Amino acid sequence: MPDTTAVDAELLRGWPLPEPGADKEERGRVLVLGGSRTTPGAVLLATEAALRAGAGKVQLATAGSCAVGLGVAVPELGVVGLEEDGDGNIPAAQAERVLELAEGCGTTLIGSGFTDVDTATALLGLLMPRLEETVVLDALASAYVTQDPERIRSLPATVVLSVNPTELARCLGVDEDDVDSDPHSHTATLAERTGATVLCGGTVKVIAHDGRLWEVEAGNPGLAIAGSGDVQAGIVAGLLGRGADPAQAAVWGAFLHASAGERLAERIGPLGYLSRELPAELPGLLAGLGGS
């Protein structure tokens, strides 16, 4: 296993993000695909995080029954309502429409708010061989990796996996206790098998990319709350949209997510702050790190 680099503010200041530019088009276009009739909030968290991380334009493709409400909740978004199946999920039949929306987007984030494994993997099975640029797979979208981790290498897109220890264990077919006891080697193994950049959340965040490892020990137990992972994936997607490479976006994203939790813990308390409060901390954190 390679040596692990500890991530702190000093390291990030020496690894600056691309200059933002004066025009929103220079900070990239991000497409977020996710949500269902019963979980519209997940994509709200992810899209706001992408915007707060500095993405120039974010478009949301989600279940049609949620589209209008989400568009009102985040007026900065472009929102497209997709047809749903009987359970309120986005079916594979919507793949062509998603591919149309992805044209011109440098980054596509998939998975936040998906609720049905079979429906999600059927949709991804049609999308992933045809998506290009960079794709972030989050939450239930990691089930596509579980089916065959090695096939990620042959995809036309560059892939970033944003997973928690449970999802990482499923991708590798190992017990979650094994991942908890050694997240570094398991994250490195998944990155090696897939050729992807892997960000594994948890008590210690671990990032693996092309034979390198980083760890983020910032954060607190308050981050272990519903929707927190959606925010982290949105941060990574936003940083990718503004021009960061996959390793940089994952490392910066992990640190920003953890640091946002630390700020809220200081102001509100170590438990009880909400995932929806994390994105608003990002602009100030970015400015402090020279990443505005």
Per-residue pLDDT tens digits for 32-54: 999 999 999 999 999 999 999 99
pLDDT band at 290 (very low <50, low <70, confident <90, very high): confident
Q: What is the mean pLDDT of residues 8-23?
A: 87
In total, the chain counts a number of residues equal to 292
pLDDT at 129 over 80: yes
pLDDT at 158 over 80: yes
Q: What is the mean pLDDT of residues 112-123?
A: 97
pLDDT band at 26 (very low <50, low <70, confident <90, very high): low
Partner residues linked to 198 by β-bridges: 161, 208
The residue whose two tokens read 């998939």 is 110
Q: What is the pLDDT of residue 105?
A: 95
Q: What percent of the chain has pLDDT over 70?
A: 97
pTM score, whole prediction: 0.96
Show the tokens assigned to 95. Answer: 């793949």
Max Cα distance, the chain (Å): 51
At residue 244's C-alpha, the angle toward residues 243 and 245, to 5°, is 115
Q: What is the mean pLDDT of residues 199-214?
A: 95
Q: What is the pLDDT of residue 20?
A: 74
Q: What is the pLDDT of residue 49?
A: 98
Phi and psi dihedrals of 132, rounded to 5?
Answer: -120, -165
Q: What is the mean pLDDT of residues 80-104?
A: 97
pLDDT at 23 over 60: no
Q: What is the mean pLDDT of residues 168-182?
A: 96
Q: What is the pLDDT of residue 202?
A: 87
Among 31-35, 165-169, 192-196, 201-205, the minimum mean pLDDT is found in 201-205
The residue whose two tokens read 């990796």 is 145
Within 8 A by CB and 6+ apart from 56, the residues are: 23, 24, 25, 26, 27, 28, 29, 241, 242
pLDDT at 28 over 70: yes
Superfamily of domain 4-288: Ribokinase (3.40.1190.20)
Distance between CA atoms of residues 259 and 254, nearest Å: 9
**Residue 256 and residue 53 in contact, taking contact as beta carbons nearer than 8 Å:** yes
Instruction: Write down the mean pLDDT value for the chain.
Output: 95
User: Domain map of the chain by residue range?
Assistant: 4-288
The residue whose two tokens read 């429409």 is 97
CA gyration radius, the chain: 17
Cβ–Cβ contacts within 10 Å for residue 85, how many?
16
